[in-house]
Structure 1
Amino acid sequence: MTAGARRARVLLLTSGPLDRRNGADTELATAVAEAVADVDFTWFARWPRRRGQRPVARGRPVPLPVPDVLPQGLKRLQTAAAGVVLARRVDLVHVVLAIDDAFPLFSRLWPPLLRGTPVLHTVPGVHDPRLPRRSRPLGQTVALSSATARELSAAGFGHVLVVPPVVRLDRWPYMPRPSGPTPRVLVVGHHGPHGGAEEAVRAAGVAARAGARFRLTLALRPRPGHHVRAYGASVLALAEREGLRDVEVLGYVPDMRELVASADVLLFVPRVLGVKSDVPLTVLEALSTGRPVIVGDHPQFAALGDTVLRAPVGDARRTGHLLRQLLDRPHWWQVLSEQGRATVEERFGPERFAARYTGLYRELLDR
């Protein structure tokens, strides 16, 4: 892929340094960089640099000092200002940003500073359905689900394309069901109200009172403004009131592979998806590993079809009974396990993802 007589230069812009790898935007941007060949990528990296493998093997990292104590809004402003400088030196800017509270102002102030550099904007998620109507499109917009694409189109973003996220199948191989005496139910979500933890604990209480026996593990990412230790204690207190005894709260887990492989079932039941990816990677990674998943029935999950079990959002009783039935029926567990892996291979594999973004890059660079 070229711009004139040289390889095209593309700036990958996320909400912060790409090598922090703790959000849907950085995970998705890294996947794009791994998938699209024949492009010279530029991205921001933390400074001072930390030990470890670079998130993108090809291209050029640009150090960006972002102190951890800096408020999130100022971090975004710093990244945007530095992005303006780099955007004038590349052929295409690929912005991977959720539409959060800071996006409406960013969408109005930032594009005029680019002096005509084309922009591709991938939207991992939308924090609040009112925000797109207060925002402007940065360029060609891409959503991860048809539900969000329709929402953005209705808000004035034009024709929004859909490119589902990708799972590295080699990193998430199919694994047999754990053979331990007590099944493990893994919960993923966020600290704070409506992040999925309280909903999952109440559902687990329903399943336990109906006779299911399991260990409950919660892997919860922190959110700004929430006291992690205090919230973890409140989740454990709720579990005790629900009659659950074998419960652990892990907090953020940098590498989920071993934890997912040790689980029998994944629960993802937040009331509000927020800025989390439309189709969270943890859900797809669990399906790829062969772990059945129970989700709240958000419209963004329509692409998963019958691969996952759905319960009405916030319905602990229905979720709990689905969990009990799944743990008690090994044949049903096996059918869902195999079906989940097959769906990820068909709809969320790397070849399809790479083809879609390679075509988008070529189209925008040829204009």
Structure 2
Amino acid sequence: MDARARRPRVLLLTGGPLDGRSDADTELAAALRESVPGVEFTWFARWPRRGAPRRDPRVPPGRAVPVLSLDGVPRLRQHLQISVAAAVLARRVDLVHVVLAIGDAYPLCARLWSPLLAGRPVLHTVTGVRDARLLRRARPLGRTMALSSATARQLSTAGFGPVVVVPPVVRLDQWPLMPRPTGPTPKVLVTGCHGRGGGAEEAVRAAAVAARAGARFRLTLALRARPGENQRVLDDEVRALAEREGLRDVEVLGYVDDMWSLVASADVLLHVPWEPTDRTDIPLTVLEALSTGRPVILSDHPEFAALGDTVLRAPIGDARRTGHLLRQLLDRPHWWQVLSEQGRATMEERFAPERFGAQYARLYGELLGEELLS
């Protein structure tokens, strides 16, 4: 059958099942599956399923390949299953789209996958570079995409060739604009990682500056531990730091299943790592908070430049400046409202699924030598 007489077939290759533990790679791959018109996708799904399978009207026809995963967390066993299956499936599709950050496992994955994927066009969306030193041992899998100009320049310098920038996407129907919470005490939500440079200690110290300047709020920290770290011990350390800084109304959380409810209950999002520690250039929580109408304060990293004046940026590691920005934002309702509306408008204009899907449809068409139908 002529490839032009049917929908092009695209294999979405990620480090874990799309319906497993949510991260930047799987979220973006799921958005691709829902947003790019005229394509028949193959993707990896968790098995056994939790509950009865149901038809999601947003997901176009395609094929879900089962991956044995009891808890949805991508581990070595899941990586191996996906690699073996991809070697077979790559021969049955027209294009392989890899959605994967460059982390510790990437150099090895690239060496394993390159011969397995040979003979098919490959598009690789790099959702982030966790450590620039890894680029010395990394090799491109095919045509490379990035989520920000800063990462595109980094990859091009490392030998990945011309890198096209396609900003990430937020599924706006899942993150509607919400009014500001009306509770008596505002909530400041902190996201980031435990440990050196992850943003937890920086946020606590900034919050203490705001509190000493007269701001009143509840501090909620949704923090992730890195692989091999003890989440409970690290949570206790953050609570102890908050107490030493004079903060009393503090809640420390680990992994959050219902992130929408947590973001919607907050007044402000604070994300101030010394160095970008997420698997994506612009953390998904930041984009989701802006979509919901929550003002965001960020440390001033180049990767965040695409957000422009939509967010408030503070010098990296400057707890005093960050704290005073937080106090002013909490004390000025009009400023809060302006930033809330501006954040949502930016998400609709630059990070909406329709724009995202159209950009990737053009890229798919270029690689496949055909025009995709909507």
TM-score range, shorter chain: over 0.9
- CA–CA separation in structure 2 for the residues paired with 1:305 and 1:18: 31
**Is structure 2 residue 163 aligned with structure 1 residue 170?**
no
Q: Does 1:363 align with 2:370?
A: no
Q: 1:314 is matched with which residue?
A: 317
Distance 1:70 1:253, change over 3 A: closer
Quote the offset at 1:58 in angstroms: 3.0
* Equivalent residue in structure 2 for 1:125, among 120, 128, 140: 128
Cross-structure match for 2:294: 291
Aligned equivalents of 1:271, 1:25: Cα separation in 2:
22
Q: Distance between the aligned counterparts of 2:275 and 2:62, measured in 1?
A: 36
1:259-298 correspondence to structure 2 within 5 Å: 259-298=262-301
Structure 1 residue 215 displacement after superposition: 0.2
**1:63-212 pair list within 5 angstroms:** 63-66=66-69, 72-212=75-215
Whole-angstrom CA distance in 1 between matches of 2:194 and 2:3:
45
The answer to whether 1:323 aligns with 2:318 is no
Match of 2:64 among 61, 65, 85: 61
Per the TM alignment, residue 79 of structure 1 is displaced from its structure 2 partner at its CA by: 2.1
| 1:157-197 superposed Cα distances (whole Å, 9 cap, x missing partner) | 11100000111222222222111111100111123332221
Question: Hey, what does 1:30 align to over in structure 2?
Answer: 30
Matched residue, 2:216: 213
1:67 to partner: Cα distance: 5.9
Instruction: Report Cα offsets for 1:254-290 as digits up to 9, x if no partner.
Output: 2222211111100011222234211111111111111
Kept in 2, the 8 Å contact 1:73–1:102? The answer is no
Structure 2 match to 1:39: 39
Q: Is the 2:90–2:120 Cα contact (8 Å) retained in structure 1?
A: yes
Residue type of the partner of 1:211? G
User: Which ranges in structure 2 are unaligned for 5 or more consecutive residues?
Assistant: none
Conservation of the 8 A alpha-carbon contact between 1:21 and 1:27: no
In the TM superposition, residue 346 of structure 1 has moved relative to its aligned partner by 1.1
**How many angstroms does 1:237 deviate by?**
0.7
For residue 365 of structure 1, report the CA deviation from its aligned partner.
Answer: 1.2
User: Aligned equivalents of 1:54 and 1:364: distance in 2?
Assistant: 31
SS at match of 1:270: coil
2:279 & 2:16 partners in 1: Cα distance? Answer: 16
**More off after superposition, 312-321 vs 71-80:** 71-80
Change (3 A) 1:302 1:53: farther
- Unaligned 5+ segments in structure 1 are none
Contact map agreement 1:121 1:142 (CA 8 A) in 2? yes
Deviation at 1:66, TM superposition (A): 4.0
Contact in 2 for aligned 1:93/1:119 (Cα 8 Å)? yes
Contact (CA 8 Å) 2:20, 2:72: kept in 1 or not? no
1:124-143 alpha-carbon deviations (Å, 9 max, x no partner): 11010121232111111110
Letter in 2 for 1:19: D
In the alignment, the residues of structure 2 paired with residue 70 and residue 252 of structure 1 have an alpha-carbon distance, to the nearest angstrom, of: 12
Cα deviation, residue 353, structure 1: 0.4
3-state DSSP class of the match of 2:12? Answer: strand
Q: 1:36 to 1:331 in 2, by over 3 A?
A: same
Q: 1:48 deviation in Å?
A: 1.9
* Structure-2 residue corresponding to 1:6: 6
Letter in 2 for 1:163: V
Select between 263-272 and 191-200 the one with higher mean Cα deviation.
191-200
Q: In structure 1, the residue corresponding to 2:98 is in which secondary structure? A: strand
Asked if the contact 1:88/1:115 (under 8 Å) is kept, the reply is: no
* Superposition map of 1:325-344 within 5 A: 325-344=328-347
Q: Which residue of 1 aligns with 2:226?
A: 223
- Report the CA distance shift for 1:70/1:188 in structure 2 as closer, same or farther (over 3 A): closer
Can you list the C-alpha shifts for 1:278-308, whole angstroms capped at 9, x where unaligned? 1111111111111110001110011100111
**What SS does structure 2 have at the residue aligned with 1:88?**
helix
TM-score, structure 1 length as denominator? 0.95
The aligned amino acid for 1:50 is R
Deviation at 1:115, TM superposition (A): 3.2
- State the one-letter code of the partner of 2:282: V
Displacement of 1:223 after TM fit? 2.5
Q: Distance in 2 between matches of 1:112 and 1:162?
A: 26
How far apart are 1:92 and its partner, in Å? 0.6
Tell me, in whole angstroms, the C-alpha distance in 1 between the residues paired with 2:272 and 2:305.
15
Per-residue deviation, 1:74: 4.9
Once the 2 structures are TM-superposed, how far is the Cα of residue 21 of structure 1 from its aligned partner? 4.1
Q: Give 1:301's aligned residue.
A: 304
Q: For the residues of structure 2 that align with 1:54 and 1:157, how far apart are their CA atoms?
A: 39
3-state SS of 1:10 partner: strand
More off after superposition, 27-36 vs 213-222 = 213-222
